[in-house]
Structure 1
Amino acid sequence: YNRNLELLTGDLQGWLADGQVPVVMMSSDIKARGLADSLQSRNLNAAFVKEGALLRPGRITVISGELTAGFRFWNENWLLLTENDIFGMQKKRRLHTKNSGAQLQYFSEIKAGDYVVHSVHGIGRYIGVENVLVDGVHRDYLLLAYAGDDKLYVPVEQVGMLHKYVGNEGQAPRLSKMGGADWKRVQSKARAAITELAEELLRLYAQRKIVPGHAFAEDTEWQRDFEERFPYEETPDQLKAIAEIKADMEKPEPMDRLLCGDVGYGKTEVAIRAAFKAVMDGKQVAVMVPTTVLAQQHFMTFKERMQPFGVKVEMVSRFCTPREQKRILNDLENGQVDVLIGTHRLLQQDVLFPDLGLLVIDEEQRFGVAQKEKIKRWKTGVDVLTLSATPIPRTLHLALVNGRDMSVIESPPEERLPVETYVAEYNPGMIKEALEREMRRGGRIYYVHNRVLGLENIAADLRSLVPGINIRIAHGQMSEDMLEDAMIAFYEGSCDVLLSTSIIENGLDVPLANTIIIDGAENFGLSQLYQMRGRVGRSSRLAYAYFVYKRNRALSEVAEKRLQAIRDFTELGAGFKIAMRDLEIRGAGNLLGAQQHGHIAGVGFAAYCDMLERTIRKLKDGVEDGIPEPDPVLEISVDGYIPDDYIADPRYKLELYRRFAGLDYGEKDDLLDEIIDRFGEPPEEVEVLWRVACLRALCRLLHIRGISVKPGELRITFAENAAIDPNALMQLISEQQQYMNFKSGAQAQLIFRTVKLKTDSLTWLEKNLPRLAFD
């Protein structure tokens, strides 16, 4: 600090002598005042300025602000320095977005033409949103078509009763007949099978809890110091995931947690902290990755973070010589290696951990069945943390129904932009333009093809398209030295294009590589396509991804769905949705064996999950009825809907209706602010819709069953477990005793004769219902 201050003093004296006017920006008022005092003690004319003129000749002005880099206009006589310019990069500030749990709502993303499951009426087809005039009031309804000519108009506040139908791939479900017994019979059969499955899952879950594990100690001072050295500010999701993992590690039973986070969203840092915690408690850590390239990357990252604290990190992979491997494994067996990183090489018999405490598995879906079985045997009694951007459907399913614990990181890194994605037939002109554009801005390009034999021909084609282009080839059949040489050449920038197989799926983090072309995209799996797109866009530059398929070739239905999904999900943090779509494309029936196959197809995967989760909760908690309390019914005749001239897109309408239906009372103002930000000032109809949604959310809090407003009468029905303050209720009744009376009983009711009501019923309820809550 003092050295930096000395250099700053010299620079400031020079600028003042040249007639320049320096302004110094610190990240807080406290730091700004402190710097001004330090400069004054060094005989410089410096002042902390909160308000007023910043530029005063002969004076150094110190202010507070959020800029991360200074600047100077050469035709002006002033300049700005920031805290980062003086003291180096401080912790980066990220723009935090509130996590609204959207990662689990993929099955609610319904568009016209989709099959849906209504919890009462069964499987229908969603037609769209229709505005209907009923008793002089305009309301929006969701229109569903059922077997025959049956139609169902669902009030928008009941949107929570709908799930998107996900069943077997390529098979359209049979539409239910409204009011028929078929749907009840299908549900009944599924419920019986689900109860059996839930008992089995709970048995497995309980067995895992019974196996003794190691209860790690609470964080040490070293842990806090280690975490402070992370050069960025953690996102809220990262902090939440870290807290959940540490809490699991401190329990006496073994941890089994899935950490879901998009490519480059900070999963590795979470794993590093868990590994450091294990090492601080005297345990060893194994980090298993699917590829040698990823092992090398993790080795560099773990070593850089942990070495200053004396933690011994080693790696075994085919990049190591047999002699090096022997030395490392010998040190491991003697307890001299704290963290060992490697591919499935770690599963071989000569790898012996005398005191393994934590196993980290990165990209679980890339391991084969045999390897997973070995891992399963190996991890008994050991804490396990699995990292994945696109978890395989079975893993995802078990996490969704509480078979294992899951943390999700959704917050994107600051300044990250979504990748510009194109899906098209192969076109030499498009490829040439993509290559030349990236080269013009000094960047590098990944070009992926799924067959080793075709790589040399593609290299020749690319050289003819762009003469002088520098291309290196990389694939798994090359020798270790040649592969490493190609990777390093690309990383360091001595070649323009890395032409490879999908070996780069989990590869080096190359911030300057911001274009990827995937040739023969129809031949890759959805999660593979997504992972490969994640190789680019890892900086603040706009990145491009081209998914090209053969010309004049008919795509299979599955390939078409995959490419459509990769085109649909371009937003940041789409990994979770990709996993959900993968589940839909591959079909849900093979998740839990043939016994469950028909039941999943019969009721749809989302409804199946919902039933299974409720059954598990019922068995686990001993609650007789797993059915949640019904939503409050509000019968208030007001014009509340979303007009087409405010929001035309039916998908956004449906999303907003879902948000209104599930509104939390404490977040009502946040939702209104978001609506204004996204769509502009709402018309009266939307404002009324929001007011009714707030009232419904309050009724949930107070356990009010329903509110009915009729000419001359307002009736409030309370649930048995109503959470209202009896004193406040008595006060309200005494104020209106001529017009109000209270009926006690199983469903108590407050009845108000509104003949003398000076305001409308909605305004009266908004004013008086909050009074009934306990302080």
Structure 2
Amino acid sequence: MRSTRKLELSSLSFQEIPAQYFVEGFHKEAFIVKQLQEVSELQFVITSTEAELHSLYKNLCFLLPNRPIYTYIQEDENPWAILRFLKTLETASPETIFLLSIHHLRIAPSASSYKSNQTSITPNYSFPISVENFMLQKGYKPSLIVEGPGQFSIKAGVLDFFSPQNSTPTRCELFGDTVTALFSLDVDSQITMQSLLQETLWNKKSPIDNAETLLNYFPKNSCIWNFCPLNEINNELSSGHKNQNIIYLNQNSLHSQKLVEIPSSGKNLKTFTQKIKQKNILEKKVYLKEQIKKWNNKNIQIVLSSEKHSQSVEIKNLFLDINIPVSELESFSDISEEAVCIIQKPISCSFILEQEKLVLLKAQDLLSVKNIKSLRPQEQLKLQLGSISIDSLNPGDLVTHIQHGVGRYLGLKFMTISSQEMEFIHLEYKDKEQLYIPVYKINSIKKYIGNTSILDKLGNNKWQHTKTQVKKRLQDISFELLELYAQRKSLQRPAFTPSKELYKNVSAGFPYKETKDQAKAINSVLSDLLSTTPMDRLICGDVGFGKTEVAVRACARAIENNKQVAILVPTTVLAFQHHKHFFERLNPFSVQVETLNRFVPLKKQKEVIAQLKTGQVDVLIGTHKLLNNQLEYKKLGLLIIDEEQKFGVKHKEKIKHLKKNIDTLTLSATPIPRTLNFSLLGLKDINLIQTPPQNRLSIRTFINSYNKNIIKEAIQQEMQRGGQIFFLHNKVKNIELVSSEIKELVPTAKVAFAHGQLPENQLEQSMLDFANKKTDILVCTTIIESGLDIPNANTLIINNAHLFGLSQLYQIRGRVGRSNHRAYCYLLIPPQQNIDEKALERLHSIRDNTKLGSGIYIAQKDLELRGAGDLLGEEQSGTLNAIGYELYLELLEEAINQAKSNQTLKKQNKSISNITSDIEPDIYLPYPCLIPQNYISDIRTRLYYYKKISSIQSINDMDFLEDELRNNFCKPPVEVYNLMGLILIKNCAKTAGILSVSLKNTSLNLKITNNSPCAEQLIALIQKQPEKYQLSKSDLVKIEITNTQWEVVYQALQKLMSVD
């Protein structure tokens, strides 16, 4: 049993804690740790800046892992933050440490106004007047759903309110005007979380007077550690601030406070870390070993701090190479006499406290700076779609296993194997045969999307025969596809000239800052246009995420190069919208933008067609009229297709012909399977715009039976905040009647209606009036589906929502939520017993997927519901149904990759059986590798993350996933890190042609295939280091390793693959 070493930091000797300590010197937080450890009163630490506050927070969390530490940062846009701080202060436990910057002390409400503006709500509290009037009197606004501070909602004996000093709303169950029970409420799910004994309701009508300082609220027996330099305090006090007499007691008493000067034993290790970063790996190891030896000789404890698990892995490997063991500990309170230990918790920088015999080293300071590469769009998309598919699995759904064929998914099951708890995927096959797949092999399972309900039989050769036949067919298809791709890439056109004034002016006219993904997409398009190969790029992004701006920039570049632009859209409304937008952006620079659709008068159409031929028209926007053979362009150079999935088969054939020799840019929120899969297979360039515009909020979506009260309430709520409403009724024959009914429901509203059969002038007027806020409600058909952009319209009511397709519902919902206001979508349906199962699944999918950027998910889910059909434009439905869409796509990708590596062979007969190995290595590690139930309890969510974890390929991927898990849950437990490590080992083994990896004590045993790509390297290692690498009589490769941690196993396999 190791002895725990208590860290002794220099301490003050004092009889009584004074009101304030003014502390100066290096690393003040380390110096006062001892004081903070030994007193139980509330502690307040005051810093000069918020940057220092953040640094201090990191270091104190590291040094005092068991103490609650609270930082207060005043949010300029949130005047109620001070109330939240005061509430936390009131309920804080005695050992709490509060961190504030000097500027936070200046403002606080007076004690009298703070107390008088609070109402204590408890069970049995009776409201003095009606609940609704009471809430209105206190300044709260009525809302259907309570989401933000200052809102309230009353429904069927329940009051929800969001008091501004709280981080979550409160739910009160009522009997009349009396409270019977109190609960905290989850904003997103609107489900009660925790029972409460008391809650405070703040009077929102009363402004915060800011008449006092926060110091007045500090308890008298608390201790204040003031880290602000004395000269800075003097400057603050002499600056004439109205509260100068109460910020630091007063100027005269300042000098009577205790000034603590920290001994100069502490120093930053900046010089050391700079030196070590400049050295190559061999020099670094020698230098580090020498320095560690010097510190050890002085009995100095070395504690390493890492922010991520991957840094811990790298550090341990680095120290392992210089024969220095590193102990991994949970927290600073666990440190022992061992020379070197590492804790996964951040500190601000590396430093040494010689008097306390302590070195704190930040892992990042010892490691080489890495260029972290983000995933390519194709990889990102593939990872998303795979996780989406698994995430939507329900018990009873069909799946395809790469080795065993079509089976039925029955759920997840925990089992104990060789004393280790493991989780398995439970599958059922023909004749009720059961199969349990370890979760680390989840990649061998695909959700079945096709048209069969027949299960395969385990151990039957039929599945292997089917798979072989499919692979042979896919070999031919892969060559055909690559040939088409090569033909496209072999086309040449003059490269565009560099950007000129027009492009710069158009870019400068964009009123927003480009999002990260939007900027990437624009740069990709610019790069395409500078090459000599015609562009063929898909911009995939959610509705309202900025795809149109990418098209505007592309237009400007084409026009600069004397080329005409055709913008093809599926609806007349979208044509109007785009014409307005492109005209506003381009016309000021003498660019002629025109439109062609059925509402353009014949005379004007002839004029536009004539000007198109002479080159006067620069940009032509239109519906399928643009595909008319009579149209002649003088020099068409760029085709932009918006929402390609809306066009019919005949139109798509014409589009294919039109785009043959010109640059093509396709924009879509929910791309069709063919386009999406060409992008996945690397046969089409793609950009994903998944970064939402700043302050964009998700759309709250509800499924309700048709109810006039719900319609009335939704409309009134939107009108109360000055917004507008779409009411979608997709039957032209009675749309006027519905419009009249809406008017009767809400007599104060101005109601108009619009549909495609209206005369041109009437339709245009209805749309313009709504866009110009002259009407409150637009009763309309799906004519609004694509492209309509009215930021003030933030409530959408869809009548008979069960009659719409999933992608269509998603597009329609995108008409609202295009500003920084919360938007609402109500899906109205008849009683649910009258609706088929697939329609309900569509509605639940649209309701549940409100996260910004869900378009890709919706496209995939729509594919599942409709069936994959003719994926690649050939009659492949039989082949696809035999194995399922996802496995079909995976095998096609393998075929294409193989064909790419054999370009010179082209269509020569080549067996496809060796496209890639079907190896799924078995990995046996002597510790649990899974996601514990107490970390993620929901089975679907666990499946989703099993899939994500199974797709990591590098330590870098591990970092991204660790961040996601931390953000969504908390720090992953060791079992999850073990699972990530196991996946890295499995992927490495698969690449190396290793069938199994197992551990016996410190012996790593590998079973290797005959044609393993690492065979030659392995022979070289056995000859070079026979004491470490051995080949047993049973053809097992044995490697001696230092310990059984997965990091060591992974490092051993990497070395096996990297031998020269």
Task: Report the TM-score range of the alignment, normalised by the length of the smaller protein.
Answer: 0.7 to 0.9
> Which of 860, 865, 876 is equivalent to 1:596?
876
Question: Matched residues in 1 for 2:830 and 2:101: separation?
Answer: 65
1:227-376 matches, cutoff 5 A: 227-318=507-598, 320-376=600-656
Q: Which piece of structure 1 moves more, 580-589 or 228-237?
A: 228-237
CA shift at 1:364, angstroms? 1.6
Deviation of residue 774 (structure 1)?
8.7
The one-letter code of the counterpart of 1:144 is L
Aligned partners of 1:700 and 1:121: how far apart in 2? Answer: 19
Secondary structure at 2:430 match in 1: coil
What do the CA deviations read for 1:620-662 (whole angstroms, capped 9, x no partner)?
3318732158466532211222222221101111122222222
CA distance in 1: counterparts of 2:620 and 2:1028, whole angstroms: 73
For 1:58-97, what aligned pairs fall within 5 Å after superposition?
A: none
Which residue in the other structure is 2:435 paired with?
A: 152
Equivalents in 1 of 2:726, 2:241: separation in Å?
A: 44
How many percent of aligned residue pairs carry the same amino acid? 40
- Superposed counterparts of 1:368-387, under 5 Å: 368-387=648-667
Look up the equivalent residue of 1:751 and give its one-letter code: I
Q: CA deviation at 1:751?
A: 2.3
2:794, 2:823 within 8 Å by CA — same for their partners in 1? yes
Match of 1:108 among 390, 396, 399: 390
Q: Matched residue of 1:351: which SS?
A: coil
Rounded to whole Å, the distance in 1 between the matches of 2:1015 and 2:462 is 39
Conservation of the 8 A alpha-carbon contact between 1:137 and 1:637: yes
1:635 aligns with 2:917: no
Q: Of 426, 439, 450, which residue of structure 2 is paired with 1:143?
A: 426
**Structure 2 Cα separation of the partners of residues 568 and 364 of structure 1:** 26
**Aligned-partner residue type, residue 937 of structure 2:** A
Indicate yes or no: 2:1034 matched with 1:751.
no
Where in structure 2 are there 5+ consecutive unaligned residues?
Answer: 1-49, 51-99, 107-206, 212-239, 243-373, 904-909
**Amino acid paired to 1:447:** F
Match of residue 15 from structure 1: none
From 536, 544, 550, the counterpart of 2:816: 536
Query: How far off is 1:284 after superposition?
Result: 0.9
Whole-Å separation in 1 of the counterparts to 2:482 and 2:924: 42
Determine helix, strand or coil for the equivalent of 2:946: helix
Q: Quick check: 1:657 aligned with 2:946?
A: yes
Aligned 8 A contact 2:566 2:640 in 1: yes
Matched AA of 1:740:
K
Closer, same or farther in 2 for the Cα pair 1:696/1:453, shift >3 Å? same
What amino acid does structure 1 have at the position aligned with 2:722? G
Tell me the CA shift for residue 142 of structure 1: 1.2
Question: Judging changes above 3 Å, is the alpha-carbon distance between structure 1 residues 329 and 760 closer, same or farther for their aligned structure 2 residues?
Answer: closer
Indicate the SS of the match to 1:582: helix
8 A contact 1:714–1:761 mirrored in 2: no
1:491-541 deviation per Cα after TM superposition (whole angstroms, max 9, x unaligned): 111111000111000143111111111112222222221111000111121
Q: Which whole-Å deviations, capped at 9, do the CAs of 1:649-704 have from their partners, x for residues lacking one?
A: 01111122222222222232332233222222333433433444455567679887
Whole-angstrom distance in 2 between the partners of 1:707 and 1:234: 48
- Measured after TM superposition, the shift of residue 565 of structure 1 is 2.7
Q: Distance in 2 between matches of 1:324 and 1:488?
A: 21
CA distance in 2, matches of 1:385, 1:701: 37
Distance in 1 separating the partners of 2:820 and 2:847: 21
Question: Structure 1 stretches of 5 or more lacking a match?
Answer: 1-24, 26-50, 58-71, 80-96
List aligned pairs for 1:512-531, cutoff 5 A: 512-531=792-811
Contact 1:400 1:609 in 2 (8 A): no
The correspondence for 1:129, drawn from 412, 421, 432, is: 412
Q: In the TM superposition, what are the counterparts of 1:24-63 in structure 2 within 5 Å?
A: none
In structure 2, the CA distance between the partners of 1:409 and 1:774, relative to structure 1 (3 Å rule), is farther
Q: Quote the offset at 1:167 in angstroms.
A: 0.4
Equivalent in 969, 987, 990 of residue 679 of structure 1? 969
Aligned to 1:197: 477
Structure 2 counterparts to residues 197-236 of structure 1, below 5 A: 197-220=477-500, 223-224=503-504, 226-236=506-516
Q: Conserved in 2, the CA contact under 8 Å of 1:514 and 1:536?
A: yes
1:579 aligns with 2:868: no
State whether residues 440 and 979 of structure 2, in contact with CA within 8 Å, keep that contact through their aligned partners in structure 1: no
Count the aligned residue pairs.
Answer: 685
The aligned amino acid for 1:184 is Q
| Partner in structure 2 of residue 646 of structure 1 | 935
When residues 552 and 575 of structure 1 are mapped into structure 2, their CA distance, relative to the original with a 3 A threshold, is closer
Provide the rounded CA distance (Å) in 2 between the counterparts of 1:206 and 1:55: 64
What corresponds to 1:715 in structure 2?
A: 1005
- Alignment-derived partner of residue 463 in structure 1: 743
**Native 8 Å contact 1:724 1:774 kept in 2:** no
Residues 425 and 437 in structure 2, CA contact (< 8 A), matched pair in contact too: yes
Report the more deviating stretch, 103-112 or 205-214.
205-214
1:196 and 1:424, CA in 2 relative to 1: closer, same or farther beyond 3 A? Answer: farther
Alignment CA distance shift 1:492-1:400 (3 Å): same
Instruction: Report the Cα offset of residue 212 of structure 1.
Output: 4.7
Cα distance between partner residues in 1 of 2:1022 and 2:469: 49
1:605 is matched with 885
Q: Which has the larger radius of gyration?
A: 2
**C-alpha distance in 1 between matches for 2:1050 and 2:468:** 42
Higher relative contact order (CA 8 A, sep 6+): 1
Q: How does 1:721-736 map to 2 (within 5 A)?
A: 721-722=1013-1014
Q: Aligned partners of 1:332, 1:346: CA distance in 2, in Å?
A: 11
SS in 2 for 1:516: strand
Tell me, in whole angstroms, the C-alpha distance in 2 between the residues paired with 1:295 and 1:504: 11
Report the counterpart of residue 172 of structure 2 in structure 1.
none
More off after superposition, 259-268 vs 629-638: 629-638
Give the SS at the match of 2:431: coil
Letter in 2 for 1:147: K
Q: Structure 2-normalised TM-score? A: 0.59
Asked whether 1:165 is paired with 2:448, we answer yes
Distance change (3 Å), C-alpha of 1:594 and 1:328: closer
CA displacement 1:166-208 (0-9 Å, x = unmatched)? 003xxx5211111111211222332333334334434443444
Classify the secondary structure of the residue corresponding to 2:466: helix
Contact residue 1005 and residue 1036 of structure 2 kept, 8 A: no
Distance 1:453 1:214, change over 3 A: farther
Q: How does 1:179-194 map to 2 (within 5 A)?
A: 179-194=459-474
Instruction: Check 1:503–1:615 CA distance in 2 against 1; reply closer, same or farther (3 A cut).
Output: same
Residues 193, 596 of structure 1: 8 Å contact kept: no
RMSD over aligned Cα, in angstroms? 3.8
SS at match of 1:439: helix
